[in-house]
Each structure stands twice: as C-alpha cells, then as structure tokens.
Amino acid sequence: MVVVRGLHFSINGRVIFSGIDLNVRRGSVTAIMGPSGTGKTTLLRMMTGQQRPDSGNVEVDGQDVGALGRTQLLDLRRRMGMLFQNGALLTDFDVFENVAFPLREHTRLPERLIRHIVLTKLQTVGLRGAAQLMPAELSGGMARRVALARAMVMDPRLLVYDEPFAGLDPISMGVVLRLIRQTNDALGITSIIVSHDVQEICSVADTIYLLSDGSIAAAGTPQDLNGSDAQIVRQFMQGLPDGPVPFHYPAPDYHGQLLERAP
C-alpha cells in the first residue's frame, strides 16, 4: 500500500533522513517508532504529500506522491485519513460539524444520514454527548478522539495516526487501541501509527519500524523486536537512557557551556 524508497531529506542543513526504505502491506497495522525529533511526523507529511523529499520516493496505492499534481493529490487524499498530532480541529465549528465536515464537503448525503454517520462515529470514541461542544471546550485527549472520529468518517483506505495515544487516560487508550485494530480489520483499512508507547504499539501493530538517526534501525514483528539483542532495539524497547540512541539533541559540551561567559 505504501512503499518508501531511498528517502533523503534535510532541513536547514540538518539531515533528517539519510536513506529510508519501508514497506507497508495492505490491510496491516504498521507502527513507526523512534525517539522524539527523529522525523516521524516529517515522514508522515511525506507520505501524505504535505512535504516533498530531497530525493527518493514515496508510493501510496501505486502512485508516486511527490510527482502528483494538486488535483491528483487531493484525489488521493480522499482515500486517506490523518490524525494530526495536535488534533487540528476546526475551531469555528462544534464537534458534530467537525466530524461532519468531510461528508458535507465531498458528498451530497441527506442530513438524516449525515447525522446518523456522525453520531455513530462519535459514539465509538465515546463523545456522542459532546457533539454540541466547541473545540475550545474540549480537553486535549477529547480533541484527539474527535479528530480520530473525523479521520475515520469517510471510511478511508489508509489511515495515518500521529501519536494517537498521547494525552489519553488508560481507559480511552484501551478503547482507541481496540478501535484502531477493529476499523483496520473490519473495513480492510491499512493503518500507519506513529507513537512512542512501546507496550501499546506491541499489542496492536503487525510490523514495527524503528527509526533512529535518519535511518531504519530495526524492523519486524513485535516479537522480533522484543527478542532482538541489537543494542539499539533493546535500549528503545526497554527505555534505557544510555545506549546508541542519544537522549540529547546535538549540543556543545555541557560543562563548557555552563562555565562559558554569557555572550
């Protein structure tokens, strides 16, 4: 469904990707994990055509995303749903209208049917009662669940989730996990999840790609990765501060900088 080949990208002279290859099977749940700031969101932006790579290409459903024109891209996106890291709800509309938005824009369904679909989707994320609230009245976790309902409302073929679990309490987390798996299996959707939550990901994903330092450090099923004795994989899966993955963003020597006189 999604094939990434030889992806290179740098921004402001900092190399983000130096050769990424990745393959997402149709109908699977694929997770992309990696330390904060390694470019997971950027990778999703390339898969959805919001950003272009320096070289290499991304194919979605057989189409080279980077080479598509504007209308073709919009066309492709009708078959995609994306959950933004911050929800990105439309602040002018209430929860109901936010979820109804894609339906109103792309279909001519009668109001009764729209109402039915939207309420069903809101019910699955447990927010049917919040339909009349404005986005400003929601908590972060609620906003993300509304955004999830909105991403699913058009029954897309590919669903892309950027950090779906961040800010969710354990109960919603469990619900969202099951929801992702269920929509994936019931509707034959392909799902890509970006997340740091190792345990949750292991319980839901078919394949995991571990992104580190601009390339794929490891790939495989959750069992593969848990059983792996590559240092980098163990460090990430077990959350150890020391290892090949630096916890710090590149910086000058710590003591030196503290002792330095203010410029």
Ligand X SMILES: Nc1ncnc2c1ncn2[C@@H]1O[C@H](COP(=O)(O)OP(=O)(O)OP(=O)(O)O)[C@@H](O)[C@H]1O
Binding site for another protein (CB under 8 A): 48, 50, 70, 74-75, 77-78, 80-82, 84, 86, 88-91, 101-102, 105-106, 150, 154
Exposure pattern of 81-112 as b/e (b: 16+ CB <10 Å)? Answer: bbbbbebbbeeeebbbbbbbbbbeeeeeeeee
Q: What is the CA radius of gyration of the chain?
A: 20
Q: How far are the Cα atoms of 57, 145, 196, 208, 220 from residue 237, in angstroms, in the given order?
A: 29, 26, 10, 11, 13
Provide the residue count of the chain. Answer: 263
Listed ranges 39-47, 65-73, 88-96, 101-109: which one lies at the site for ligand X (CB under 6 A): 39-47
When asked if residue 38 is in the footprint of ligand X (CB under 6 A), the reply is yes
Nearer to another protein, 88 or 202 (CB): 88
By CB under 6 A, is residue 39 in contact with ligand X?
yes
143 conformational bin, left if phi > 0, alpha if psi -120 to 50, beta if neither? alpha
Which two tokens mark 114?
């729209």
Nearest approach in angstroms of CB 108 to ligand X is: 37
Q: Is 37 in the site for ligand X (CB under 6 A)?
A: yes
Residue number with CB closer to another protein (32 or 210): 32
Q: Taking CB within 5 to 8 Å according to partner kind, which of Mg ion, another protein, ligand X, none is near residue 12?
A: ligand X
36 binds ligand X (CB under 6 A): yes
- Binding residues among 32-61 for Mg ion as defined by CB under 5 A: 41
86 binds Mg ion (CB under 5 A): no
Minimum Å distance from CB 180 to ligand X?
A: 18
Site for ligand X contains 11 (CB under 6 A): yes
* Of the candidates 53, 127, 47, the residue with the CA atom closest to the CA atom of residue 87: 127
Pick the stretch among 8-16, 121-129, 138-146, 198-206 that binds ligand X (CB under 6 A): 8-16
Which does residue 111 touch among ligand X, Mg ion, another protein, none (CB within 5 to 8 A, set by kind)? none
16 binds ligand X (CB under 6 A): yes
